[in-house]
Amino acid sequence: MAHRLSKQLAGKSAIVTGAGRGVGRGIALVLAERGAEVFVTDLDAETANSTAFEIRSSGGRAVAAASDVTDPASIAQAASRAISEFGKLDVCVANAGVIDAGGLREKYYYTDEDWDVTYRVNVKGLANTADAVRQHMQERRQGRIVNIASHGGRTPRGPSLGVGETILPYWVSKAAAIQWTHLLAQQMARFNVTVNAVCPGTLWTPMWEKIAANQRALSPDLADKSPREIFDASVEARQPIARPQTPEDIGRAAAFLASDDAAEITGQALNVNGGAIMN
């Protein structure tokens, strides 16, 4: 089985946005492990290069470039370069995302800027990324688009999470990401291009560290807890499989949806969350 999975994406080429750290890095590493050539993009060129170097050091092929998913010309240029480097693009993983406009650790209420930034990156950024690759995939009449959403886009959870209203625009943006996945899947199906989403649950990433710090700042009962202790308690309380997910867990789901094994799956949003939300 391990040998089979190592060849799951052999001969495929992929672009992953926001792949310099966290979930995006985990996705890029798993795709490379399973045989794909990976074009690593991130707003931060240094972290993109670091992920690409890690892939190459493990014997894979990777190219890195800085790109901004909120700028259609920037992400289009990255996709064009990926096609030039690899000769084609089979897989696009639209992962780049933000949780707020900054200052989450201390804020309780969202701001207009939180709405604007989460929409530009988490919603319009997905559309810009798809627009950068869709014509190429349509012309080849094959391709896989995988959007990274969140189980936070599934159902309201604000008060139960013990975090302020700052996070609400993020959750709304992730609900929009799931709807975008459904709509794009309908548009692309006639071109033999599948479009699916992965909805991560609770991962110890810089994003969740901010959430835990926000919980501590707003809850006197948590003042003596570290962000990691708050995170671990949240996982244990809310997930039937009482352990956090990892970036590689999300990468394995993305790799499956990018593979030929998922040829008949489109328009779906797959929770990878230890059972925290079951729908």
- Residues with a catalytic annotation lie at 170
CB 64 within 8 A of CB 4: no
R_g of the chain computed on alpha carbons: 18
Residues 6+ apart with CB under 8 A from 118: 98, 99, 100, 101, 169, 170, 172, 173
Read off the amino acid at residue 1. Answer: M
SS3 for 110-148 is CCHHHHHHHHHHHHHHHHHHHHHHHHHHHHHCCEEEEEE
The per-residue b/e assignment along 212-238, b for 16 or more CB within 10 angstroms, e otherwise, is bbbbbbbeeebeebebeebbbebbeeb
What is the C-alpha to C-alpha distance for residues 272 and 103, in angstroms, rounded to an integer? Answer: 28
CA angle 101, 102, 108 (to 5 degrees): 95
Describe the crossing of helices 72-86 and 125-140 by its angle, rounded to 10 degrees: 40
Using alpha carbons, select from 199, 196, 200 the residue that is nearest to residue 259: 196
Residue 41, strand partner residues: 65
Sign of CA dihedral 12, 15, 21, 26: negative
